[in-house]
Amino acid sequence: MKKISFDKLPFLTLTLLALAGSSLLFDDLYKFLRTGLKKEQNHLTPDALIIQFENDIRKRNQKEISWENIKENQGLYSGDEIYVGEKSKLDFMIQKNLLHLDEMSLIRIESKGNPLQFSSGNLTLNLNKNSLEVFKFNSGDEEISLSGNDTKVSITKPLDSNTESLGFSFEKGTTEISFKNTTTKIKGLEGNNLIVTKDKKGGKLSFKTTQIQIISPKETAQNTFPNNSSVLFQWRYSDANKQQPPITSFMEIATDSEFKNIIYQSIKNTFKAQWQTLELNSHLFWRVQLVTKEGFKLKSKPQTFAVFTPQIPKILAPSYSFISPKEWKIIFNIESPFISSGSVIELYDINRNKLLNFNIKKEQSFTYNAPPLNDIRVKIKALYPNYNQPTPESDVFNFTTPATPKKPENLKYEIIPSKSVSQIKLSWQEDPNTSFNELNITNLPSYKKEKLKAGNHEFVFNCDFINFKKTKIKSFFAESVFGLSSDEILIPACPKPIEIEEAIFEPPSLSRFIKNDTSKIHLKFKSQAKTKEYAVQIMDQKKIINLTISSDGLIPLDKSYQNLKLKIKPILDNKFFFTQWSEISPVTINELTPLDPPNLVSPKNNEVQFLTSEKFSKVLFQWQTTTASLGFDIQLSRSSDFKKILFNQTVNSPQFDSIGKITSGVFYWRVRSFTRYQESEWSAPFQMRIIREKK
């Protein structure tokens, strides 16, 4: 088989990628091939891309008369006709979908909307996985659309002078077919076939669904045959009627579902084939392809069967489960790959002197109930399916049921204290036949039962439950659903860790509000423990501070810190309660917005004001501020350095009336703003001159 050489393209293995079946690989291959071929074909992007071909493949443009052999690194363009000769085949790609042409096929590449004119032969189409695109092609004057997700369809168009017909064989998935000149839409299911016939005189389409029905061997779990035996394969064509002789059957057997490794082929004009099995010991696949007298190629759904070497069945060591203190359930397993229904198990219960026969079904096991310390003897003789011969009888298997197990004993607990999370360790003694244990804590609806391995005899868990009281261990034996429980013990309760809702840092207040105030943290939390005191650990980048606080959540600090974190736990006096630290929570530090000095407005700088000498004459001071403030301090002085203050007044609004406080002369005034935690710088002072007028 010839493959395209990609010496002039960036990748050497694109052909292998195209055959992998992945939508992503198809997309990559499609893009790279189109890019490379565009450069080779005078910058024209090809409409179709050749993947690989074998033997006689020819092409010509519709404007040309003579045919030429296709070449390596060659794209296909609109108007190109492709002919596949005898014993030849071609793989190519259109619109990211992989197509295959068998021998004696003829197509023409068309426009991008309907990229293909199918004239005759056999065309196989792989619709891309996860693709939502519809693939369209023309057959004569009929436009046909196919859509599907990871599907495979084979299309046959035989040469017929009276009618124009197409045969569809749905090999994989579900494909929807629609015809432009009609409103007909058909869903093709895997394993079915469809024949579409068009009357050339009236142009009317007729549809017929057919199927190759498998008679034997059908695909079942018991579909097995010994080596060197004869297998009869039979099938039926649902539309055969009396036309059996003109129909040719191609039967194939392969070792893989893709039929890449075919080990047997049969070509007959009948609906059956005989095959002598080989020494394979494996599962095989078989299928049928029919060629009708009209030339349609129809395919069946692949079937599976198995070929094996006859073996003497063997009784394996049984598994067992505890039903009650007086009874065990024993599960005997059989080692034989192809046991069928009709196999007979002979069991002798020595203690109870019973001889029993069991007819087993598909499952390669059977069960028997017996008391503790009971002796049992078992052997088996089997029949193979589809081959009516018994196997040799197995060896005798002797077995004694286990003794009655004991319940877990000496269950007790131990508290393992920790600075972070306290733990509880349970310990007990268990029966040697215990397969697993189950921890059961009552009075705690949200608790899920814990399944524990046997042999450890202890279990440690974090002290993170609330109000649990009674605790017990239940032992199970083998695969049983029935177990034995220990006596119950009482375990102390552990409150949940405290849940911190918020922790906010507050800097010290100005002394005008609180004298000698310090930094503090306001902690808001939820605690299930009823206590008056709590332990707190505060962490910064350098050290850890341990404090005891009350339930109000106020934490005083000796100074300000950065990047604080903390955790908290209740301080309890009760030995039946064990507490643990909360999760570490960051402390929110709200940065203080710097206060800008106020902007003085009136009186303006160097302004002269004339006042009467009356007692209540006044000067109105006004200013503006750009930051939020609680209040303002205003000062008046006769000197610009404010060494001697005439008056210092605190007000809540950005203005102040001086009534009878200012005499004649030159004065300076300034203002500053303040909040609870900080003061701004003083504003630049303004000068003013006051002249008192006499009446």
Q: Among 185, 210, 235, which residue terminates a domain? A: 210
Examine the domain organization and report whether 151 and 58 are in the same domain.
Answer: yes
Per the listing, tokens 């009929």 go with: 142
Instruction: Output the CA torsion 447→449→453→456 (10° steps).
Output: 50
Examine the domain organization and report whether 30 and 105 are in the same domain.
Answer: yes
Tell me, what CATH number does 396's domain have? 2.60.40.10
Q: What Rg do the C-alpha atoms of the chain give, in angstroms?
A: 47
Q: What is the domain extent for residue 453?
A: 409-490
State pTM to two decimals. Answer: 0.43
Range 475-486 average pLDDT: 73
Highest mean pLDDT among 37-41, 391-395, 452-456, 609-613: 452-456
274 vs 230, 231, 344, 518, CA distance in Å?
Answer: 7, 6, 31, 101
Instruction: Evaluate if residue 681 carries a pLDDT over 90.
Output: yes
Range in 73-87, 208-222, 285-299, 628-642 with the lowest mean pLDDT: 208-222
Whether 43 maps to a domain, the answer reads yes
Question: What 3-state class would DSSP assign to 612?
Answer: strand
Examine the domain organization and report whether 619 and 666 are in the same domain.
Answer: yes
Which has the closest alpha carbon to 550: 567, 566, 565, 571?
571
Whether 267 maps to a domain, the answer reads no
Examine the domain organization and report whether 201 and 324 are in the same domain.
Answer: no
Q: Which residue has the higher pLDDT, 331 or 202?
A: 331
Instruction: Evaluate if residue 11 carries a pLDDT over 60.
Output: no
> Can you give 184-250 as a three-state secondary structure string?
CEEEECCCEEEEEEEECCCCCEEEEEEEEEEEECCCCCCCEEECCCEEEEEEEECCCCCCCCCCEEE
Q: Which residue has the higher pLDDT, 79 or 279?
A: 79
Tokens representing 76 are: 């296909």
Range 82-90 average pLDDT: 87
What percent of the chain is predicted at pLDDT more than 70?
A: 76
Which has the closest alpha carbon to 46: 84, 105, 85, 4?
4
Instruction: Evaluate if residue 124 carries a pLDDT over 80.
Output: yes
Range 178-186 average pLDDT: 76
DSSP 66-112: S-EE--TT-EE-TTEEEEE-TT-EEEEEETTEEEEE-SSEEEEE--S
What length does the chain have? 695
Provide the pLDDT for residue 441.
72
Examine the domain organization and report whether 511 and 418 are in the same domain.
Answer: no
Per the listing, tokens 């065990």 go with: 328
Examine the domain organization and report whether 479 and 512 are in the same domain.
Answer: no
Q: Which residue has the higher pLDDT, 154 or 218?
A: 154
Q: Do the Cβ atoms of 518 and 558 come closer than 8 Å? A: yes
Tokens representing 41 are: 């074909």
Range in 144-148, 221-225, 282-286, 552-556 with the lowest mean pLDDT: 221-225
Examine the domain organization and report whether 168 and 24 are in the same domain.
Answer: yes
Q: Which residue has the higher pLDDT, 520 or 307?
A: 520
Examine the domain organization and report whether 186 and 133 are in the same domain.
Answer: yes
Whether 249 maps to a domain, the answer reads no
Burial class (CB in 10 A: 0-12, 13-18, 19+), 312: middle
Range in 221-225, 505-509, 677-681 with the lowest mean pLDDT: 221-225
Range 23-36 average pLDDT: 47
Tell me, what CATH number does 145's domain have? 2.60.120.1440
Whether 165 maps to a domain, the answer reads yes
Examine the domain organization and report whether 462 and 362 are in the same domain.
Answer: no
Q: Do the Cβ atoms of 384 and 340 come closer than 8 Å? A: yes
With cut-offs at 50, 70 and 90, classify the pLDDT of residue 594.
confident
Range 646-651 average pLDDT: 89
Provide the pLDDT for residue 633.
94
Whether 253 maps to a domain, the answer reads no
Q: Among 547, 566, 589, which residue terminates a domain? A: 589
Question: What 3-state class would DSSP assign to 39?
Answer: helix
Whether 626 maps to a domain, the answer reads yes
Instruction: Evaluate if residue 241 carries a pLDDT over 60.
Output: no
Examine the domain organization and report whether 629 and 673 are in the same domain.
Answer: yes
496 vs 201, 460, 493, 538, 581, CA distance in Å?
Answer: 87, 18, 10, 21, 9
The H or E element spanning position 23 is helix 23-40
Q: Do the Cβ atoms of 565 and 583 come closer than 8 Å? A: no
Burial class (CB in 10 A: 0-12, 13-18, 19+), 580: buried
The H or E element spanning position 27 is helix 23-40
Instruction: Evaluate if residue 13 carries a pLDDT over 50.
Output: no
Question: What 3-state class would DSSP assign to 610?
Answer: strand
Question: What 3-state class would DSSP assign to 142?
Answer: strand
Q: In 189-210, which positions are buried (b, 16+ CB within 10 angstroms) versus exposed (e)?
A: eebbbbbbbbeeeeeebeeeeb
Examine the domain organization and report whether 652 and 571 are in the same domain.
Answer: no
With cut-offs at 50, 70 and 90, classify the pLDDT of residue 600.
very high
Instruction: Evaluate if residue 112 carries a pLDDT over 80.
Output: no
Whether 271 maps to a domain, the answer reads no
Q: Among 144, 178, 210, which residue terminates a domain? A: 210
Question: What 3-state class would DSSP assign to 36?
Answer: helix
Range 138-153 average pLDDT: 81
Q: Number of folded domains in the chain?
A: 5
Instruction: Evaluate if residue 596 carries a pLDDT over 80.
Output: yes
Whether 305 maps to a domain, the answer reads no
Instruction: Evaluate if residue 389 carries a pLDDT over 80.
Output: no
Q: In 104-142, which positions are buried (b, 16+ CB within 10 angstroms) versus exposed (e)?
A: ebbbbbbeeeebbbbbbbbbbbbbbbebeeebbbbbeeb
Question: What 3-state class would DSSP assign to 16?
Answer: helix
Q: Do the Cβ atoms of 251 and 280 come closer than 8 Å? A: no
Q: Which residue has the higher pLDDT, 374 or 673?
A: 673
Range 629-639 average pLDDT: 92
Instruction: Evaluate if residue 27 carries a pLDDT over 70.
Output: no
Q: What is the pLDDT of residues 561-576, one digit of tens each?
A: 778 888 888 887 665 5
Tell me what the pLDDT averaged over the chain comes to. 77
Provide the pLDDT for residue 49.
83
Q: Which residue has the higher pLDDT, 179 or 494?
A: 179
Question: How many C-beta atoms lie closer than 10 Å to residue 260's C-beta?
Answer: 8
Which has the closest alpha carbon to 129: 149, 144, 100, 106?
149
Tokens representing 315 are: 């009784």
Provide the pLDDT for residue 499.
85
Instruction: Evaluate if residue 7 carries a pLDDT over 50.
Output: no
Provide the pLDDT for residue 655.
92
What percent of the chain is predicted at pLDDT more than 90?
A: 7
Examine the domain organization and report whether 551 and 643 are in the same domain.
Answer: no
Q: What is the pLDDT of residues 524-569, one digit of tens each?
A: 988 877 788 888 988 887 788 888 888 888 888 877 677 888 888 8
Which has the closest alpha carbon to 155: 105, 109, 203, 112?
105
Range 591-612 average pLDDT: 88
